[in-house]
A and B are shown apart, each in its own frame.
Chain A
Amino acid sequence: MSAGAGHRLAVDVGGTFIDYVLLDEQTGEIVVDKEPAFKDEVARQLFVGYDRTAATASASVGRMIHGSTLAINTILQESGAPVGVITTRGFRDVLEIGRGNRVDIYDFFYDPPAALVPRRLRREVTERSGPDGDVILPLDLAELEQEAAFLVRNGVEAIAICFFHAYANPGHERQARDWLAERHPGVFVSCSHEVANEWREYERTSSVVLNAYVMPSVGRYLSDIETGLADRLFAGDFAIMQSNGGVMPPAVAKQVPLRTLESGPAGGVVGAQALAQALGEPNVICSDVGGTSFDVALVHDGSVVERYKTEVNKRPVLAPTADVISIGAGGGSIAWIDDRNALRVGPTSAGARPGPACFGFGGDRPTVTDCNLLLGRLDPDNFLGRRMTLDTAAAEAAVAGVAEQIGMSVLETAGGVIRLAETNMVYAIRQMTVERGHDPRSFVLLAYGGGGGLFASALMEDLEIPRAIVPGNSAVFSAWGLLFADYREDAWVTKVLQVTEDSREEFAGLVSSVADEAREKLAQHGIAGGGETVTARADVRFAGQEHTLIVPIRLGLDRDELAARLKEDFADRHRAQYGQADVTRDLEIVTIRATATATLPHPQLRRTAPGAAAEPRSTREVWFTSAGGRVETAIWSREDLSPGAALEGPAVIEEWNATTLVNPGQTARIDDFENIVISTKGREAP
């Protein structure tokens, strides 16, 4: 595999469309395309768009980066393979018992998630390790054979193995895996420590079961893509996007397909990180306004902020992913009145069909997009590059239904819906920043997705964020972001260890062994020519606490410096988060994590020369939350604006698939990379 120049193609498969972004690495030119994603025919459909896009290229495609929703859809639709589970004796019910809590506490009809594997196909074998990794009982291979034979006889396609404390000693899981591979070569096998090397048996079992559940379908799908590429004599590098923002080769993706679960949002976040780096912005709030949801993530100190546990349909997944908070506030989100006469927005969405009322596909419930139209923020005759005319009368009729119920005018109601959507977004951003000890005012707001530019100006005012950036092609920004992904492997291990004089050696040893493991896993990718970096961090707490804070660890320090640094950095983070830190307490590490990255040559963001001065194309009345009503507003076309252009709010900047608002009192300029940069007067950064 090589990272040859020529063309780089990002293919992002979403719920309804496949997005293609083709980059000419010589010229920096970009071609954007779309193809519908039909269920069960994605692999075939993918190549329809591939062939069309590749035909525009002057040279062959040297790298294809693929973001796929197959794993998450298989889980959401519960259409995975029959799985069998093998556990330590005494624990086959862990998967079904779960954690026993109910999230809606007054709902006495709360249903926990049904176990993906029925009890009959959950089998136990004698074996046991302790929390320190000591073997208490050896693995009984005769029992293993008996139980595996039962599972195979009963039609399982994949077997998930989860043994107690396997994160501390994976020996028995490996032994069982190798043994099964030999005896039952046709069956997919997945071990818990390979998927999630950390404690909490339910969450780890859930993760390995989900992995096994999607292994057969993802494996077949990726093989189909590989075949299609081979048919086209594709000699480049084929890389699969992971939830953590890095890519991996197809062989790894087939083994741990669970890692592709959140590849969609990850693309946007990686793009944000790349753009932030080019702009010299260390801290970025990534806000993605799509059709059904508003997703917010962070880049802090140049790195994507991650989390290590997510949930899909109430089922936990342990894996590093970009930390994304998602709320039901997108363009298609429906406004409604609850039985307390309170106005609500979302989480129900009109989706693509019937869609907002103004789309004219038969939708009759008022959506955020309908309100934006009525408020003059969207031009009914200039939507999606005039591919579509919006029906203002239908939008008005839909909003009027709600307006009547609360005794407000249609326009006031539409303004209220937008204001409510804005405040819901503000609370999501607060949760992402303030609750994690970050001041949103020290971030820049990056707005993308089809509706990002419609909300950026209001969000930055509410949160007192000095600047917002709306990138070019903001509607396909997530696909564009895939172009910047590097190869990445994570290694991690849970080891509860108090950091004292006596344990510093052990701590330092653990750090270097986890870092080595990440490096070795990456080396197995066989990526040539990538500059390799390894970073590490630890989940740390005061001894006696349970919850941890993530503290970066510098590699290459001696054991005393390592411990001293850790203590200092942890105390800083604890103070930032909770307002205090009792430094007399001992520190305890829980999990050590390392990331190895093989940096691929990134596409260079190109600066564009300033062009001719531009004028607005027209004016119309547009409603602004901050103005509390409609004001006469200049309408600009984005294609008229080149670097150096500056304008004052109130203004609307229209492009073929996105619209950006500039509030009264704000200014906007086009930077050298053709981003729109919005600032609030009197709050400009130095």
Chain B
Amino acid sequence: MTVQVDQIPDVITTAVVQNGLVAAAKEMSTTLERAAYNPLLFELKDYSAVITDAAGRLWAEAPGLIAFITPLPELIRYGVKKFGPDGFEPDDVIIANDPFTTGTHISDTTTYMPIFTEGSLVGFAATTAHWADIGGKTPGGWCPDSIDVFQEGLRFTHQKLYRAGVPDETLHEVIMSNVRLPETVRGDLEAQVAAIRTGAERVQALCTRYGVDMVRAAMVRACDESERSLRAKIAALPDGEYVAEKLMDHDGVEKDLRRLVRVKLTIDGDRVIADFTGSSPRTAGPINLPFQASVGAINAALKSVLAPTDAANDGELRVLEVIAPEDSVVNPSPPAPCDSYGYVFHSLLECGLEALSHIAPERCPAGSGNVFGCFIFRLDPQYGDPFIMIDATTVGWGGRPTGDGPNLIFLLDGDTPNVPGEVIETRYPLRMTRHAWKTDVIGHGMHRGGPGLVREFEMLGDKMFAQAAMENHHSPPAGIDGGLDAPPQQIVMWVGSDREQVFHERFAFVGPLDRGERLRTEAGGGGGWGNPAKREPERVLDDLRNEFVTLEVARETYRVAARAVGDDYELDLAETERLRAEV
């Protein structure tokens, strides 16, 4: 892009334009959330909205999921290549969910729209949203055991859903006759289209106000400044190579193979190179993470350490160079299965954080729980209205240099709140019987990991099935600097009956659960930070009183002696001193 000399925007115009684009992206996000029909969107906010320039470079995002930041602009660049710069008309809407161009999984469907002013293409508005269903062998996405992308659902490779504003009815019909909840999907798709139209209108208004050339030039400047700022921060870090790796539980198909994710992070002046060499080859099961999202995971780690609250733009995405082995678990080729991509994303992100921790230890927490969630569904209408309840669960996060870890939605997600029990009970034939901390999975430490979480449901109807997303069975959230690993999660089916069964690994289609039977999800805790025997005795007393630890754990792990007095506790400091001296 060439900028004429008389159009170099000043600092103020640059700020005004950039703020305007961020406001536009946020408005897209609000529109999508409020008009959606699918709890994954309006409760879990499993979506993102971005605005890019005409070449697909990121101008502004309204963040929902961190997994989408790098893949979305990449996907638009693919579309620009497919259709050519002259291949778009005003009010076209393009649909794409092919993991090999979107970077995540087939459930994440993107719609995007070219933005024209004065007859020329200025950019694109795009939203990605997790659909309630996309067909495939299991409902709702996150299939744990698909063996290729064709089993995972209906794939769109950048088709025009609207041509110049006219809907392609055939394509709409094909979609609605291939998904399990067509009414919900139709509503969500309308919401996505409404959102990108809103974004396009706002960008057009900004161009009318400041002139197309000025908007472009302002964003060239804003992105350059972001890049310069990030590079300056990188240049201030010590040069060197830092390696981190994680073993995965398994790929869901070849269950006896432990797959490896490996990152070598090189800081060289103001450059960062992430080399994934040594990561396992493409797997038989669906944990493969397409390349764009692998880059995104490391970008997210860098951003969290160096610029967590700055508005993201293309400038921030330029500093990272990536080497990824061909056809590997972090760079799979079609038709690799990818539906459970999130576990590797999480592990890669934690590897990135761990590698950076060698450089910036004050910014590195202990390990946190990986993706965890449970679907409860009933698809056979003879037992009642079909439904798919997707419960993504908060997990324990690692202890931090600054204090105890919290319990929050897993790293992969972001501004994604849990679904309230009172909403679940109104919407589905389920009764929530418990929503509580799980304290026996805490990774103890000087700053302990966050607690796990129990959610228990009683079935109010027959013939319900469950599917679960989980990891961490063989690779628990790791303690750091003497902190302990956190025991992992589990799901209990047919709770309290003679059929009771405990699952430590992900599964598809287990059931049926009938009226009165219960299912309990038990999310794991976070890893501990630092030696637990260094935790202040008063904080251990506090944990005793609030039932986060038992007297036995206090004594054995924290080396703190206390005794029960009535319904309270008191410390025995002399005995504590003696216990701690033993270590």
Contacts and interface: CB of A to CB of B under 8 A. Distances in A.
Contacts of A106: 63, 66, 300, 303-304, 307-309, 312, 414
Interface in A329-368: 338-344
Given A102-B415, A119-B547, A199 B422 contact: yes
Interface in A383-409: 406, 408
B138 interface: no
Contact of B394 (A100, A109, A415): A100
A51 interface: no
Contact of A546 (B42, B226, B308, B309): B42
Contacts of B222: 340, 342
A419 B12 contact: yes
A92 B406 contact: no
B117 interface: no
A416 B37 CA distance: 43
Contact of A108 (B39, B43, B304): B304
Contact of A431 (B23, B400, B408, B436): B23
Contacts of B307: 106
Given A97-B435, A111-B406, A342 B546 contact: no
A121 to B, nearest CB: 9
A100 B400 contact: no
B409 A199 contact: no
Contacts of A423: 16, 19-20
B36 interface: yes
Interface stretch (B108-116, B160-168, B183-191, B462-470): B183-191
Interface in B375-427: 394, 400, 402, 406-409, 411, 413-418, 420-423, 425-426
Interface stretch (B27-35, B72-80, B499-507): B27-35
A120 B545 contact: yes
Contact of A104 (B12, B19, B308): B308
Contacts of A579: 194, 197
B365 A199 contact: no
Contacts of B183: 544
Interface string B296-332: 0000100110011110100000000000000000000
A148 to B, nearest CB: 14
Given A101-B409, A340-B225, A406 B15 contact: no
Given A99-B418, A100-B408, A102-B408, A416 B12 contact: yes
B548 interface: yes
B15 A90 contact: no
Nearest to A165: B422
Interface string B541-583: 0000111100000000000000000010000000000000000
B340 to A, nearest CB: 21
Interface residues of B, number: 85
A160 B66 CA distance: 37
A545 B37 contact: yes
Contact of B417 (A100, A104, A340, A544): A100
Contacts of A544: 37, 183-184, 187
Interface in A108-167: 108-112, 118-120, 130-131, 136, 150, 153, 164-165
A150 B567 CA distance: 8
A101 B417 contact: yes
Size bracket of the A interface: 35 or more
A542 interface: yes
B64 interface: yes
B358 to A, nearest CB: 16
Q: Which of B11, B407, B418 has the most CB of A within 10 A?
A: B11
B422 A547 contact: no
B342 to A, nearest CB: 15
Contacts of A415: 12
B10 interface: yes
B134 interface: no
Contacts of A92: 436
Contacts of B184: 544
A582 B191 CA distance: 12
A577 B30 CA distance: 11
B36 A546 contact: yes
B229 interface: yes
A545 B36 contact: yes
Contacts of B308: 104, 106-109
Nearest to B194: A578
Given A105-B415, A119-B546, A342-B222, A201 B420 contact: yes
B111 to A, nearest CB: 15
A94 interface: yes
B399 to A, nearest CB: 12
A406 B13 CA distance: 13
A640 interface: no
A431 B545 CA distance: 46
B435 A91 contact: yes
B440 to A, nearest CB: 14
Given A97-B394, A102-B414, A108 B365 contact: yes
Given A101-B409, A200-B420, A423-B16, A90 B435 contact: yes
A274 B428 CA distance: 46
B490 interface: no
Interface in B35-81: 35-37, 39, 42-43, 45, 63-66
B473 interface: no
Contact of A342 (B11, B20, B35): B11
Q: Which of B308, B421, B546 has the most CB of A within 10 A?
A: B421
A494 to B, nearest CB: 8
B494 interface: no
A646 interface: no
Contact of A94 (B415, B435, B567): B435
A563 to B, nearest CB: 21
18 contacts: A90-B433, A91-B435, A93-B436, A93-B437, A101-B409, A112-B406, A131-B425, A165-B422, A199-B422, A199-B423, A203-B420, A342-B11, A342-B15, A342-B18, A542-B37, A577-B34, A578-B35, A578-B194
Given A90-B433, A97-B453, 17 more contacts: A92-B436, A99-B417, A100-B408, A101-B45, A104-B309, A106-B300, A107-B309, A108-B365, A109-B400, A118-B546, A120-B547, A341-B11, A342-B11, A342-B225, A427-B20, A545-B37, A580-B190
Interface of A: 90-94, 96-97, 99-112, 118-120, 130-131, 136, 150, 153, 164-165, 199-203, 338-344, 406, 408, 415-416, 419-420, 423-424, 427, 430-431, 434-435, 496, 542, 544-547, 577-580, 582
